[in-house]
Chain A
C-alpha cells in the first residue's frame, strides 16, 4: 500500500507518512532512482504545503553534489527546502535531468509563493539522517526520510 489518507482535507498522497514522537517522516517510491528523488521532494513539499496549488509557470534549475547516495538525498531535499523557504518558490513538479550517486541536476517547475493561493500546512525546519533509508523493495525504489518540524 503506497497511498495513505493523511487527513481528509489534504487529499490522497503517493507516499506514506511515518510517525516520530516529535516530528514527521515520509516513505516515497519510484520506479527508478530519478523518480524516487523527484517523488521524495514532492512528499516533503506536500507535508509543508500544497504543491497541487502551484502552477508550473516558471522553470528553476537545481544542482547538488554530495559524498554518497544517502547524503545526496539529504542535501538534495535540503536544497529544495531552501528554494521553498528561502527563495519562496511553490513547486508543482520536478524533472531529474542527471543523477549519479554523488550529484543531481533537476528542473523544478512552479511559481513564486503567494500566501493566499499556496497555503502552508507546517513549517519544515530541516531534513535529517535519522533512520534514513534508500533501498529496493519488490523491484521499486523506496526512500524513508524524517523531517524536523
Chain B
C-alpha cells in the first residue's frame, strides 16, 4: 500500500481507482505511529471505507486507529446526506459507546486513605453486568421512554440532577429516535442491563488531575491540579449490540436491491434515504439514548458510593459526556461548498471548536470538552475541540490510545493477581468481575496515549487541557 507523508502529523493514501476507492484516505499519525498502525489491517479497512457510495471528502483515520470489523476503530467517514449510505457497522455494535467525566470536590490526598473502601463500594454499586442485571429496574413501557428521552428520563425519575442531562452531548438524547424500529430481541437484551458497565474495554476509573496544560480552559471545565475526577466508559450494552446485529443482517439482505457491492460484508449499508436506512437511524438514535441513560444511571450510583464513603458534603458534577460510536447529521464545507452529511464516527469523538452552538453555554468560549481515556495504569486526557477539526476532520478527533497487541498476545504468560499487585505498587487499585478483564486491558496492550494526543494537538484538531492519572479502576 502506498502511503505518503504530508507533514509531521498527517499521511495520505492516494485514491486508487483499481481498488474502487472514491476518495483519498488521510491518516493523522506521526512517523512512529504510522509504523505501528501498518502492522494490522486498519489501513486496508480505511481504504475499504473510501469505496462506499456517496462518501464526501476523504476517509479519515485518527492516530489511535486499529483494526476493527468493516470500518477501522478510529475511523471517520462523512456520507452525502442525500446520495450517500448509512452503514450500521460504521457506527459499530456498541452504539454510543462513550465517555463521561465527573468532577468531585475532593483531592487525591483526600481520597487516597479511603481508596480501598471507595473502590469496593463502587464495585458493589456499579455492576459490570455479567451477573445479569443492574440496579436500575424498569419495565417495558419505561424502556420506550428511555429510548426517546435518554439521560433526561433518568434525571426525571430520580437517577440524577437536572444539570446532568444538560452537560451531555446532544443534551443526553438524540432527536429522531424511533423505538418501534428497535426489535424485541434488542429490548430483551437491554432491559435488565441499564446501569451496568459491560466488559471488554469498558471501565470506571477514579483519577486525579496530574497536570494542567491550559489553565483557562481547565478552569472553565471546573478542574484543577490534584482534583479527583471519575471517568465512565460504557455504551448501550446488549440493546445497542442487538440493534447493530439486526441491521447489519437486514442491510446484507437488501444491498443488492440498491446495486451496492462491497469489499467486506461487515460494511453492509443502505441509502440514507431508503426505508431501511431511515429505520436503522431511528433505531440507532434510540440505542444512543439508551447509552446516555446507562451512563447517567452509572453516575447516579457512583454519587451514592462517594457519599457513603465521604459523607453527604461531597459533590459530584458532570463535566461533559461524549459519544465515540455514532452517525450524526452535520453540515461542513467539503471541497469548497457547504454540504449536509451523515458523519460516521467509529471510535472517534466529536470535537467542536469555540463558538459552536451545540456546546453548552458555559463552555462555548473555549470549545467542546473531549475525553480520551488511556489504558489502565497510564493516563487519560481532557482536550478542547479546535478550529482545525471543523476545517478538515468533520469535527472529530481520536477516542483512546488504540490497541497494539491482541487480547491473546497481551495475556500470554501473565497472571492476573500478579499484574494486579504490580498496579497496586504504582498506587492503582483494580477490581474486575472477570479475571480476563484485567489481563486483556494491561497498559502494554495499547499505544502510548501521550503520543496520540501530541498528534491531534499538533494537527490543530483539539487542544491539550489536562492529563489525568488513575487511582482506582473498576473493570468489566
A residues engaging B (CB < 8 A)? Answer: 6-7, 9, 17, 19-24, 66-67, 70-71, 74-75, 78, 82, 85-88, 113, 115, 120-123, 125-130, 132, 146, 148-149
Contacts and interface: CB of A to CB of B under 8 A. Distances in A.
| Category for how many chain B residues contact A | 35 or more
Contact of B132 (A6, A70, A88): A88
A9 B435 CA distance: 10
Given A87-B188, A122-B434, A129-B264, A149 B199 contact: yes
A141 to B, nearest CB: 20
Contacts of A123: 128-130, 198-200, 476
**3 residue pairs, one from A and one from B, having the closest CB atoms:** A120-B130, A86-B189, A129-B265
Contact of A21 (B66, B132, B199, B268): B66
A82 B128 CA distance: 18
Contacts of B435: 9, 121
Interface stretch (B207-215, B247-255, B279-287, B375-383): B247-255
A22 B266 contact: no
Interface string B97-122: 00000000000000000000000000
Nearest to B200: A149
A126 B69 CA distance: 11
A125 B450 CA distance: 29
Interface string B175-211: 0000000000100110000000011110000000000
22 contacts: A19-B409, A21-B42, A22-B201, A71-B249, A71-B253, A75-B249, A86-B185, A86-B242, A115-B131, A120-B130, A120-B434, A121-B434, A122-B200, A125-B93, A128-B266, A129-B70, A129-B252, A130-B69, A130-B70, A146-B69, A148-B69, A148-B241
A82 B69 contact: no
Contacts of B70: 128-130
Contact of B252 (A6, A71, A87, A122): A71
B404 interface: yes
Q: Chain A at the B interface: mostly helix, strand, loop or mixed?
A: loop
B244 interface: yes
Given A19-B409, A21-B66, A148-B93, 10 more contacts: A21-B404, A22-B73, A22-B406, A78-B249, A82-B189, A115-B130, A121-B434, A123-B129, A126-B93, A149-B199
Nearest to B267: A129
A45 B49 CA distance: 31
B238 interface: yes
